[in-house]
A and B are shown apart, each in its own frame.
Chain A
Amino acid sequence: MVGARPDPDTLSMESHDEDPTTPQGGDHAADASDPSERATEKSGDATGPPGGDPSRGPAPETPAAGGAIPAGGATPAGGATEGPRRLYRSRDERLIGGVCGGLAEYFGIDPLIVRIITVGLVFAGGAGFLAYLAAWLLVPEEDGESVADGGNGRLATIAGTVLLVLAIGTVLPFWNGPFGGWGWGGPLVSLICLGLAGLAVWWVASGEHPAASGTRDILRRAGFGVALLAVCGLLALGGAWATAAGGGVIVAVVVIVAGLWLVAGAFLGGARWLILPALALALPAGVVSAANLDVDGGVGDREYRPAVASEIRGTYKLGVGHLILDLRDTKLPPGDRPIHVEIGAGAVSIAVPRNVCVTSKAHLGAGQVNVFGHGSGGLDVDWRDARQAPAGTTRLIVDGDVGVGVLDVTYDSPSDHFDRRRSPADRERGNAACIGGVRG
């Protein structure tokens, strides 16, 4: 019933001490059911020296740390009181995994206090959730079995449950509100997903019997795991590149066929090996699709400096690289001038004269948009900065489509967009040629 117990090495001694055949041990076993004696035992837990002091020898009024009371203090020399105080997940004080109960018993406080603190930490960016999950996985139960010791089947069950909860939670509207820190793409969720993805690889690579015996067996499994990861890496890169290069339909069809093969293999057998390669092909292709990454426009740096308005194209497109459109020396007549820019991965820098009003909208799969020092960043970025220009002023209408990267509009040299993005000067004087608008 306690969360803090002596070292398992000493448990055999405790069992011996509490042997019913021993008169004192039998008395204690009977006393343990008495509430008054139970209270005494708790008090001893809280005030007793952690782990006991070997130099003090047996002390009848001071039970061993963790509450495994020696029989009337008849502890053998260096007996149960010598073990270090250990943290266990409680079996008696358990609502979910016994973590809070175990902590409460370890520190000798009311479990309700620990639960309130934990719930409070869940609302503080999810720290309580992470800490509870880590403790659940790592701290053993009172019988000495941790989740990890319980076999990777149980570990996989817990990991799968957590992932499903995350998947459901991130699509619920309230999850981005009072819970704070649970927005998709936030560092907390990303870290959890990264850790669990690593766990998934370990699960598949470990096979059915992870308890390898012998060097040859370990090497064989390690080799299998490395080869599987290499194949999956190639599949991931190939699938992502093919999707970005316009072969997304073919990749999707291959993924569907692999899935149907798995379904058939579930009944016929022998297809489980296909799980990881299928996911390795599908998920990166999904990332490329979500980012709308398209490398069709070529790879490299492109710089355009049109001298007159008639040289300005309607659309500028680049697959991967840095696209620069420098309009600072371009003679622009009054009126609207629409420009559409597309880049799969990389940066788009547009430099404009100071007497030009810029109205802009853009979608970025992942990255940062910056218009005269104002902008937005992250995943699935939709930027809109609608501006009106006074009569006789040129208005540049920028429509950006960026897979992964940066869209930058500035007055200055477009050669170094990363430093300038942080410049407050642009923000002060940005878009002064306009007469108002709506940014969002």
Chain B
Amino acid sequence: MARRDLDLPSLVAGIAVVLLGAVLLLDRLDVLSLRFASLGPLACATIGAVLLASGLGRRD
């Protein structure tokens, strides 16, 4: 069985999306209160991490 290379953008995006989903879930369950002040940086960090991983991957 051929060994596949790790797809860094998918891995980073996956982790970021899981974290985002977890925050959403906790907010809906009233464990925490999501606000724009925390969503903004979280969204930026998510998209930024995905773009960064993609950019680094393509420069290899």
Interface of B is mostly: helix
Other than A153-B58, A252-B25, A283-B46, give 9 A-B pairs with Cβ distance below 8 A.
A154-B59, A155-B55, A161-B48, A171-B38, A193-B40, A200-B47, A253-B25, A275-B17, A278-B17
Q: Cβ of B49 and Cβ of A259 under 8 Å apart?
A: no
A269 to B8, CA, bound (A): 11
Q: Cβ of B44 and Cβ of A279 under 8 Å apart?
A: no
A185 to B42, CA, bound (A): 14
CB distance from A337 to the nearest CB of B (A): 28
CB distance from A199 to the nearest CB of B (A): 8
Please report B residues at the A interface, Cβ cutoff 8 Å: 4, 6-11, 13-25, 27-29, 34-59
A255 to B43, CA, bound (A): 14
Chain A 344-377, CB within 8 Å of chain B: the 1/0 string?
Answer: 0000000000000000000001100000000000
Q: How large is the interface on A (under 10, 10 to 19, 20 to 34, 35 or more residues)?
A: 35 or more
A286 to B9, CA, bound (A): 22
A200 to B59, CA, bound (A): 17
CB distance from A150 to the nearest CB of B (A): 9
Partner among A199, A263, A290, A291 whose Cβ is within 8 Å of the Cβ of B14 = A263
Q: Cβ of A249 and Cβ of B21 under 8 Å apart?
A: no
List of A residues within 8 angstroms of B56 by Cβ: 153, 157
CB distance from A377 to the nearest CB of B (A): 13
List of A residues within 8 angstroms of B23 by Cβ: 286
List of B residues within 8 angstroms of A286 by Cβ: 20, 23-24, 34, 39, 42-43
Q: Cβ of B14 and Cβ of A153 under 8 Å apart?
A: no
Q: Contacts A167-B42, A266-B14: A184 and B4 contacting too (C-beta < 8 A)? A: no
Partner among A153, A162, A248 whose Cβ is within 8 Å of the Cβ of B48 = A162
- A sample of 24 cross-chain residue pairs with beta-carbon separation below 8 angstroms, ordered by A number, consists of A156-B52, A157-B52, A160-B47, A160-B51, A164-B45, A164-B52, A167-B41, A167-B48, A168-B45, A184-B37, A193-B43, A199-B51, A203-B54, A255-B18, A256-B18, A256-B21, A262-B14, A268-B4, A271-B7, A275-B17, A282-B46, A286-B20, A289-B39, A290-B35
Interface check A158, CB cutoff 8 A: yes
Q: Contacts A160-B53, A185-B40, A272-B10: A263 and B15 contacting too (C-beta < 8 A)? A: yes
Please report A residues at the B interface, Cβ cutoff 8 Å: 151-164, 166-168, 170-171, 184-185, 189, 193, 196-197, 199-200, 203, 208, 243, 248-249, 251-256, 258-269, 271-272, 274-275, 278-279, 282-283, 285-287, 289-291, 365-366, 379-380
Q: Cβ of B55 and Cβ of A379 under 8 Å apart?
A: no
Number of residue pairs across A and B with beta carbons under 8 Å? 211
List of A residues within 8 angstroms of B13 by Cβ: 259, 262, 275, 278-279
Q: Cβ of B44 and Cβ of A163 under 8 Å apart?
A: yes
Interface of A is mostly: helix
A267 to B55, CA, bound (A): 19
Q: Contacts A157-B56, A262-B17: A269 and B35 contacting too (C-beta < 8 A)? A: no
CB distance from A262 to the nearest CB of B (A): 3
List of B residues within 8 angstroms of A203 by Cβ: 51, 54
List of B residues within 8 angstroms of A158 by Cβ: 55
